[in-house]
Copies of this chain bind each other. A is one copy, B any other.
Amino acid sequence: MASKPKKQIIHEAAVRLFRDKGYSATSMRDLADAVNLKASSLYNHISSKEEVLKDICFDNAHRFLDGMKEVEAMQGTATEKVEALLRLHIRAATGDAASVMAFNDEWRHLSNPLLGEFMALRKDYESRFLAILNAGMQAGQFQKIEPIIALHTIFSSIRWLHDWFQPGKKLTAEEVEEHVVRMLRDGLAADNQ
């Protein structure tokens, strides 16, 4: 088996440290210790902990934007599109918990211009999600809920899964996904659906 590239090993260790200690409390020294390097050698691989944070945040942002692009291109009702987006969020949370956790909580530590770029991607994603919610409201597929409230409720309602879900426990990732989708999709649906 080929060994992992050093950069990937450093990246994964950083995600675990950011999750366990928080970004601010994690030092380059901690990161060097976690991957058995001297701090001076670590700088041969990455220039700063912010570089790692940047990679986590932008990789995740692009993962969600790529998913959004696929959903927008789908033939289907707004209900089906929202369901597909719910599944995207839930699979990220159950499949790559540490990375999503760092992405949820730690992006505020980016400095400009990265912070501004990241926030623009985030804003773009939210606007496109809102547009789908609005379309569903106007088509009478959803009940009367302010789209911005539906959006925040959806985003927030999933923000425990990455912390709670453990593969091999009572419920599989697929079961968890079905139950959460059921609750949020049907909460949005108009009675006549």
Interface residues of A (CB under 8 A from B): 143-146, 149-150, 152-153, 155-161, 164, 171, 175-176, 179-180, 182-189
Contact = CB atoms under 8 A, between A and B. Distances in A.
Contacts of A156: 156-160
B160 A152 contact: yes
Contacts of A187: 182-188
Contact of A159 (B143, B159, B164, B183): B159
B171 A160 contact: no
Q: How many copies does the complex hold?
A: 2
A186 to B, nearest CB: 5
Contacts of A145: 179, 182-183
Contacts of A160: 152-153, 155-156
Nearest to A188: B183
8 contacts: A143-B186, A144-B182, A146-B175, A149-B176, A149-B183, A153-B183, A153-B184, A187-B187
A155 B182 CA distance: 17
A23 to B, nearest CB: 13
A187 B179 CA distance: 10
A153 B60 CA distance: 22
Nearest to A151: B160
B159 A146 contact: no
6 tightest Cβ-Cβ pairs between the two chains A and B: A187-B187, A157-B157, A183-B187, A156-B160, A149-B179, A145-B179
Contacts of A189: 186
Nearest to A146: B179
